[in-house]
A and B are shown apart, each in its own frame.
Chain A
Amino acid sequence: MPKSQNIDPKEVRKPQFLEFGKIPVNQYNKSIDEEKDSFSTDDFVRIYHDMVIIREFETMLNLIKTKNEYKGIPYNHPGPAHLSIGQEASAVGMAYNLDIDDFIFGSHRSHGEILAKGLSAINKLDEDVLYSIMKNYFGGSALKVVEKGFAGPMKELAKHFLLYGALAEIFARENGFNKGLGGSMHAFFTPFGIYPNNAIVGGSGDISVGAALYKKINRKPGIVVCNIGDASMGCGPVWEGISFATMDQYNTLWDGEYKGGLPLIFNFMNNLYGMGGQTMGETMGYGILARIGAGVNPEMMHAERVDGYNPLAVIDAFRRKKEILNEKNGPVLLDTLTYRISGHSPSDASSYRSKEEVEAWQKEDSIIAYGNTLTASGIAKQEQLDEIRDEAGELLTHILKLAVSDEISPRLDLQKDPDVIGTMMFSNQSADKMEERDPEVLIPLEDVPRVMSFKNKERFFKDKEGKPVSKARLFQLRDGIFEAIIDRFYKDPTLAAWGEENRDWGGAFAVYRGLTEALPYHRLFNSPISEGAIVGTAIGYGMCGGRVIAEIMYCDFLGRSGDEVFNQLPKWQAMSGNIIKMPVVIRVSVGSKYGAQHSQDWSSLVAHIPGLKVVFPATPYDAKGLMNSALQGTDPVIFFESQRLYDTGEMFQNSGVPEGYYEIPLGEPDIKRSGEDLTILTIGATLYNAIKSADILVRDYGIRAEIIDARSLVPFNYMPVIESVKKTGKIVLASDASARGSFLKEMAQTITEIAFDYLDAPPVVVGSRNWIIPAHEMENAFFPQPEWILDAVHEKIMPLKGHVCKSDFTSAKSLKLNKEGV
């Protein structure tokens, strides 16, 4: 809570009633003649045309899926196709008023939205720009296909390009918008403002908020539309996204031109079903979805239900809502009522709805109804409309032929280059800043009080006389992280950081102390307690081109951002075909002292997920160097910190932590102490207990242990470890993670595989117990202790003369514990 705002008990304790205003439901009632002022004949017909194209596209896919044939072209598509037959008016109406700079995000059912936004963009773009976009996209590979033998206007060519790029993507062809790596549920094309669809229901609910933040924080033109389904209203991340998007601080605390609401429309494509669950009447309780807006903020999110079966009603709504956003009064909640005639997927037997219901909606078919309106009002003749439908069929036949041909549209050749997808998992770039302009700061770097205080700090843990430095004078690990972060804030204008207690508090563990004085609100702010949205918004911010640090206060809260960390953050670089980058650092603090839900080391969980870089420094020098690298890169990095080490000084670099900028490459382990007889590889804070055990080993048994700090989990260069094992023949791996399934086991297996002939004993993992973490007073029975390492060496590697084991590392015990599951 910022000190600038006082909460007056007299005020908040006053009795009062909350009152809600009216939420319009299907209030559009203009006649077509009234609309003639706003639309030309061409516009009216184009709306019809765009709806027909989407209908034909989806119908074609439906036939391919159910009959393996469309108009005599046989094809088998084993992948997904969640079709939106019936929802065309909503898609076209949504996209009609959007500019190129306006971004849309989607769901698993977004073919229609992609095509609608694409057609809208083609209509608005200058022909030269349009051609340049097509020509420069993946070297013009898709353009070459549709250009061959084409004679016609540029915009018609672009239409071919759009349909072919989307369809080739759905069929996993390399000419697809994302090299075939996204597919039906993830296809997107950023040059037209089409941002990722999302196969996870509600996945765009917080990512799109991040995109809106990107526009707001970096003063980029345009709005963001989050197209998600009505059933996603039941998803936590969607509510978190809404909370994040409607924070008071945009109006109360953000300054000057940054003041005001987010340019974002949550557009619920409300087809009344979530797969087979009826959201109205069965699985949700809002009755009419737009009602939700009333509870969120005093503006009631400008919520409205609009008739999504009438394209003109939707266009009208978006025009009005866009004005609200331009006046910085967003975000907006739109309940676009529509209906999906097609099944959830082609295997949908529609057992959850009656034939009568479907037929009733078919009678109201938006394309037929709109067509009738056009003919009745004399805007178009029936023959003209029929011709549009025939042409759509012919065009889709042509595009389908191109897309299904293995010669014209091959897939990525994984035989020829089996590692090609691997090359796309990370962008691996080095960039000082994501954009060229001056970063906005409040005071010069050298005037930041905390930066000034560093002048009086000792950057090594002992002074010149060899005496330990007091905590007050010590340059600590938290200072190392801070130094890297503030340096980047003064280099990269796009860098923003958010999370819980990030601003005035300085972060729960004082890493950010001093940043508040240096940075304006829009670059450092407190988030709601919404870990899902904290990460989700960072993803949206990153994929639009900004660099961001999001903080999860405790590692244990990572579970709250599970979908974002596991399904979103690691996937989008590769699923985009490397079109987008993801310069997102997630700071995760591993606790201690606070028991079972505040002390877990979950580094193994994220290391398991392909597409994330994972680091866990244990010294101030490493923390600063690795944070510098993480912030210089363009890939998602999960940056683990240990609360046991925040106040640790540098003990290994004799010259202390350098004041200037330096990078430690991600993935390089570091030998913290050399030895000949035994290797100890640690992750995280266990380094210090390993050192204690090494001291005992050399003192009591003459065994000189080599201690290697992994520093990174992904990527990881095994060579220094292998070289060490070649020398010593023995290795103990230790970390605070529960031993079962920990990353140490992965490392032990890899080391065994590579250095088997050099091993004098199996690699031995010393991890935490497979329990709940007990209270601080009992923690020593849970986390690896120096004696545990000695016991493990004695029991499993080589006998230590006279050593008496305190813990049981025998195979019998291991078998028993495994059998019991603990």
Chain B
Amino acid sequence: MAIPVIMPRQGQSVETCIITKWFRQKGDTVKSGDLLFSYETDKAAFDVESPSDGTILEIFYGNGAEVPVLVNVALIGNAGEKTDQITTQLSGESIPPEINHQSFETLVQETSVLQADAADETREMKIRISPRAKRYAEKKGLNFYGIRGSGPNGRIICSDIENAVSPTEGKMDQVDVPGDEFTEQPLSNVRKLIARTMHVSLQNSAQLTHHMSADVRNILEARRKIKEGLKNGSEKQDITLNDMICLCVIKAIKKFPEVNAHFFDDRIKMFNKVHLGIAVDTPRGLMVPSVKNADDMDLQTLSRELKSSAEACKKGNINPELIKSTAASFTVSNLGNYGVEMFTPVVNLPQTAILGVCTIINRPADLGNSTFGFVPYIGLSLTYDHRAIDGGPATLFLREIKEQIEKFSH
């Protein structure tokens, strides 16, 4: 039986060795202890002696070959012996290193996707806020966009949120008044939310309001036609004055993208689409649902969407995502029904402006040819954040709304 000569393992880290020189050839007879070949590892050189007397029947690896350790290098046996059975198979236990390149690449890809996602999110969220302050703001339902951070590098720290929530905390003296003169009710959550949002808005931005009036003879005529059409069946859907005003506003917004935006301390996010917020009075308090992509809608669609949003708010089943201040890009608040002649609506931060729609008043006007008469005018009150928009563009925007209303046709 032929005896294999193996490449010894010299040290645990050695996986292959290089045969530097064979001192014998195939067919040579050798004695136990005769030098067969020399080989080297990365660290040192070694010699291999013949393990027994016999003839070299086979040499599997020649000079210069790199041979895995524990592999058969040669066979020694009796001349003429059959050697088919023995090849260079590994002798004993050996574990070749396995590296799964495929899975590694996948892993790299997945990692880079994750990183890209994270980077996108960072671009969205460049506001600096401490984890504690953020947590506290969320607990208090406070929108911290626009809050000025007093920490290092403008970081919003917890005390900033605390000040935003209750700036006068501890300063209001409690005066004891004998009973029966008032009742106290705890604030509902919606009330608390409104209170904070409105207060934060006024505290953290530079708001001012421009007033203007628009001749509504065309729009009232359109409204009259629609009502008539409903009666004779040529129109299927009622359209309110508010729907029409909103359509005019949307058209104006498309010309003044800076009002269709969110303002942050270090940047302005301008929207390509118009997401119109509409203030709705509900039994629980004011809500501002957003109609997404309102600029894609015709009057009928817009009307339907505004109506269904308002109803959802009143019923209380509105999607909470739609009533966040970040859901809308611009807001309209209509107090015309209540006879309000002018007001200063409060900007829903981080939005940059809000349009207040007032009641219609007949005003004396020059009808041409030195004839004066009464013309119905609707009051428009535009509050804007001067941090984001200057007075000039704001005025031009308001005038564009006025013109859209005045040239309205249906």
Contact = CB atoms under 8 A, between A and B. Distances in A.
Contact of A351 (B12, B45, B93): B45
B149 to A, nearest CB: 10
A349 B44 contact: yes
Contacts of B8: 66-67
Given A67-B6, A68-B92, A729 B130 contact: yes
Interface string B69-101: 010000000000000000000011111000000
Interface residues of A, number: 28
Interface string B130-154: 1111010000000000000011100
Interface string A723-757: 00000010000000000000000000000000011
The CB with the most chain A CB atoms within 10 A, among B9, B43, B93, B130, is that of: B130
A75 B132 contact: no
A166 B106 CA distance: 45
Interface string B44-66: 11100000000000000000000
A67 B151 contact: no
B41 A799 contact: no
A368 to B, nearest CB: 17
Contacts of A74: 92-93
Given A797-B152, A798-B150, A69 B45 contact: no
B157 interface: yes
A756 B70 contact: no
A799 B149 CA distance: 11
A798 B151 contact: yes
A65 interface: yes
Contacts of B150: 798-799
Which label, helix, strand, loop or mixed, suits the secondary structure of the A interface?
loop
A758 B11 contact: no
B131 A759 contact: yes
Interface string A743-783: 00000000000001111110000000000000000000000
Interface in A574-617: none
A67 B91 contact: yes
B158 interface: yes
Contacts of B312: none
B135 A797 contact: no
A345 B130 contact: no
A236 interface: no
The CB with the most chain B CB atoms within 10 A, among A67, A347, A757, A758, is that of: A347
Contact of A761 (B43, B91, B157): B157
Nearest to A75: B93
Given A760-B157, A761-B157, A351 B131 contact: no
A347 B41 contact: yes
Contacts of A75: 92-93
Nearest to B12: A78
A27 interface: no
B130 A760 contact: yes
B91 to A, nearest CB: 7
Contacts of A796: 152
Contact of A347 (B6, B11, B159): B11
Contacts of B158: 729, 760
A761 B94 contact: no
A761 B155 CA distance: 9
A313 B135 CA distance: 80
B132 A345 contact: no
A814 interface: no
Contact of A345 (B11, B45, B95, B151): B11
The CB with the most chain A CB atoms within 10 A, among B11, B94, B132, is that of: B132
Given A68-B94, A757-B132, A799-B151, A347 B157 contact: no
Contacts of A787: none
Contacts of B94: 68, 76
A68 B9 contact: yes
Nearest to B150: A799
B365 interface: no
B129 to A, nearest CB: 10
Interface string B2-14: 0000101111101
A786 interface: no
Nearest to A758: B132
Contacts of A67: 6, 8-9, 70, 91-92
B22 to A, nearest CB: 18
A78 B69 CA distance: 14
B135 A757 contact: yes
Contacts of B130: 729, 759-761
B132 A349 contact: no
A366 to B, nearest CB: 22
Contacts of B10: 66, 346-347, 349
Contact of A758 (B46, B93, B131): B131
Interface in A375-419: none
A79 B131 CA distance: 48
A225 to B, nearest CB: 31
Contacts of B132: 729, 757-760
A469 to B, nearest CB: 41
Given A346-B11, A761-B130, A795 B135 contact: no
A39 B135 CA distance: 85
Contacts of B131: 756-760
B152 A347 contact: no
Contacts of A798: 150-152, 157, 159
A69 B14 contact: no
Interface in B144-180: 150-152, 155, 157-159
B46 A349 contact: yes
A58 B378 CA distance: 105
Contacts of A66: 8-10
Contacts of A761: 130, 151-152, 155, 157
B133 A760 contact: yes
A760 B133 CA distance: 6
A351 B10 CA distance: 13
Given A76-B95, A761-B155, A347 B133 contact: no
The 10 A-B residue pairs with the shortest CB-CB distance, nearest first, are: A347-B11, A349-B44, A68-B92, A74-B92, A760-B132, A729-B132, A760-B130, A347-B10, A66-B8, A760-B158
Interface of A: 65-69, 74-76, 78-79, 345-349, 351, 729, 756-761, 795-799
7 contacts: A68-B70, A74-B92, A346-B10, A351-B44, A759-B132, A760-B132, A761-B152
